[in-house]
Amino acid sequence: MADRYLHLTGTAPGRFLTRRLGLPQPAPLRRWSLETPRLEGPLLHLTAGDSAIGGELAKVLAATGLAVEQRSERPAAIVLDATGVTSARGLAQVHAALHPVVRSQAPGGRIVVIGTPPSSEDHHQAAAQQALEGFVRSLGKEIGRGSTVQLVRLPAGAAPVAAESTLRFLLSPRSAYVSGQVIELTDAAPDPAADPDAPLTGRTALVTGAARGIGASVASVLARDGARVIVLDVPQAGDDLARTADRLGATALPLDITAPDAAARIAAGAPDGLDVLVHNAGITRDRRLANMPAERWAQVIEVNLDSVLRTTDELLASGAVNRGGRIVATASIAGIAGNNGQTNYAASKAGIIGLVRSLGPRAAAEHGVTVNAVAPGFIETKMTAAVPLFIREAGRRMNSLSQGGLPVDVAETVAWFAQPGSAAVNGQVLRVCGQSLLGA
């Protein structure tokens, strides 16, 4: 559904009027396209404190394809290496580094602060590194003009190359609707990809709920990145599913994910094994708890959570997910913040968060597979078009970018999780919500 307000503020009279009324000023977001695959402008590499990774990090930043500079008049991206900030006093260097440059950054810019996990043994280091989280979340709220701010934590002693796929994503138009996020990396070395511009070449990906909406967009972005794609949806959505499959050169698998033999039929549909498994299918059956019959509760838990647990367990146990595989599930900010009338849905989506945090480290150790979740905020789909006008407008504006996201924003995040280079991204829940105020 079109965001008319965003169009209005894109016109001179609309901008004048909405400014006078003190209304939100959403900036049009620049997303990935063949014509603009990268940010337009240099990358400013700054350091606060004594960094042990400066030289290696510079090489990783150069791999983003942006021109890396130590001084820049108008940077498109700024990376602040704050891994060496270990005391409250040292935080002054964070201010000293960013204060002079933050205003000169180009619109639609990216700021990434790199830190380390707060220590359980050194409370001064822990305080300083945790401080970066509050800093980043606040800067994300005030920066405006379609710019985003994130914190990436790299374990002490880990080679910066572990962060390469993450930095490529965050410092690109692909992460346009991701802001105010904290990503905790492991020290796992990236699996090599044949072609950085088509990192999923030779890989097989299956996306559930892919007949329409976010799932169809995920399938499309994975295909763009080189994957052979299998699109799955309920048999009743067969026509839409066939159209999506035709458009992408994908294989259609009409199947209800709650069927008892779903995992076996998925495995049969991918005889060479799956490299990427995206659990996207989801439903809502909203009612307040006092009015909610048991079957509405059960349907949502079954589709959104139980079938995800069951098929994941069975596909991992049978070896149908290849080593180096990537499992991506779909949570929601409702699973983080809760939502009126959605006790069943929010429970199912919070359950997804529990699943990825627990299974991620074990799946990596036992199967060489990562498990992550994307948590969309307000995304413009049929699901949100059905929301009553006033609540829909509130959902769209109550975030740092003052607009809803698009299915492609979720899809780009899934594609980053899915990359061979993202081995160090595991057990993470990334919100794609424009830094929604809900649950922030």
Ligand X SMILES: NC(=O)c1ccc[n+]([C@@H]2O[C@H](COP(=O)([O-])OP(=O)(O)OC[C@H]3O[C@@H](n4cnc5c(N)ncnc54)[C@H](O)[C@@H]3O)[C@@H](O)[C@H]2O)c1
Assess 382 for contact with ligand X (CB under 6 A): yes
- Give me the least distance between CB of 374 and ligand X, in Å please: 8
- Nearer of residues 187 and 295 to ligand X, judged by Cβ: 295
Assess 234 for contact with ligand X (CB under 6 A): yes
Which residues are bridge partners to 206 per DSSP?
230, 277
- Residue 371 vs residues 136, 361, 417, 425: alpha-carbon distances, Å: 25, 8, 9, 8
- Give me the least distance between CB of 123 and ligand X, in Å please: 37
- Give me the least distance between CB of 391 and ligand X, in Å please: 12
Residue of 86, 208, 244, 436 that binds ligand X (CB under 6 A): 208
Whole-number CA gyration radius for the chain: 21
Q: DSSP string spanning 329-377? A: EE--THHHH--TTBHHHHHHHHHHHHHHHHHHHHHHHHHS-EEEEEEE-
Assess 383 for contact with ligand X (CB under 6 A): yes
Catalytic residue, from 5, 345, 378, 416: name it: 345
- Nearer of residues 180 and 282 to ligand X, judged by Cβ: 282
Number of residues lying near ligand X (CB under 6 A): 27
Give the interface segment with ligand X, choosing from 57-65, 67-75, 313-321, 372-380 (CB under 6 A).
372-380
Give the interface segment with ligand X, choosing from 98-106, 126-134, 203-211, 359-367 (CB under 6 A).
203-211
At residue 178, φ and ψ (nearest 5 deg) are: -105, 120
Give the interface segment with ligand X, choosing from 32-40, 80-88, 205-213, 361-369 (CB under 6 A).
205-213
Q: DSSP string spanning 384-396? A: HHTS-HHHHHHHH
- Edge to edge, what strands does the sheet with 204-208 contain? 251-254, 228-233, 204-208, 274-279, 321-330, 370-376, 429-432
Assess 381 for contact with ligand X (CB under 6 A): yes
Amino acid identity of residue 427, one-letter, is G
Measure the N-to-C terminal CA separation of the chain; round to a whole number of Å.
26
Residue 33: CB atoms within 10 Å: 8
Assess 93 for contact with ligand X (CB under 6 A): no
Query: How wide is the angle at C-alpha 293 spanned by C-alphas 289 and 296, nearest 5°?
Result: 90
Give the interface segment with ligand X, choosing from 62-70, 144-152, 185-193, 256-264 (CB under 6 A).
256-264
- Give me the least distance between CB of 377 and ligand X, in Å please: 7
Nearest to 412 by CA among 28, 31, 27, 26: 31
- Nearer of residues 209 and 351 to ligand X, judged by Cβ: 209
Residue of 83, 311, 384, 402 that binds ligand X (CB under 6 A): 384
Assess 283 for contact with ligand X (CB under 6 A): yes
Assess 135 for contact with ligand X (CB under 6 A): no
Active site residue 177: no
Assess 379 for contact with ligand X (CB under 6 A): yes
At residue 308, φ and ψ (nearest 5 deg) are: -70, -45
SS3 (DSSP) at 160? helix
Residue 160: CB atoms within 10 Å: 22
- Nearer of residues 161 and 387 to ligand X, judged by Cβ: 387
- Give me the least distance between CB of 418 and ligand X, in Å please: 16
- Nearer of residues 141 and 243 to ligand X, judged by Cβ: 243
Assess 188 for contact with ligand X (CB under 6 A): no
- Nearer of residues 98 and 333 to ligand X, judged by Cβ: 333
d(CA 6, CA 14): 9
Residue 46: CB atoms within 10 Å: 22
- Residue 128 vs residues 44, 100, 134: alpha-carbon distances, Å: 23, 21, 10
d(CA 271, CA 399): 43
- State CA 317 to chain mean position distance: 27
Assess 282 for contact with ligand X (CB under 6 A): yes
- Residue 435 vs residues 30, 53, 173, 238, 440: alpha-carbon distances, Å: 17, 29, 16, 35, 7
Residue of 49, 160, 173, 215 that binds ligand X (CB under 6 A): 215
Residue of 257, 308, 356, 401 that binds ligand X (CB under 6 A): 257
Residue of 8, 58, 63, 237 that binds ligand X (CB under 6 A): 237
Residue 202, Ramachandran bin (φ over 0: left; ψ between -120 and 50: alpha; else beta): left
d(CA 205, CA 227): 6
Assess 376 for contact with ligand X (CB under 6 A): yes
Assess 330 for contact with ligand X (CB under 6 A): yes
- Give me the least distance between CB of 229 and ligand X, in Å please: 15
Give the interface segment with ligand X, choosing from 99-107, 183-191, 206-214, 420-428 (CB under 6 A).
206-214
- Give me the least distance between CB of 371 and ligand X, in Å please: 16
Binding site for ligand X (CB under 6 A): 208-209, 211-215, 233-234, 237, 256-258, 280-283, 303, 330, 332, 376, 378-379, 381-384
Active-site residue list: 345
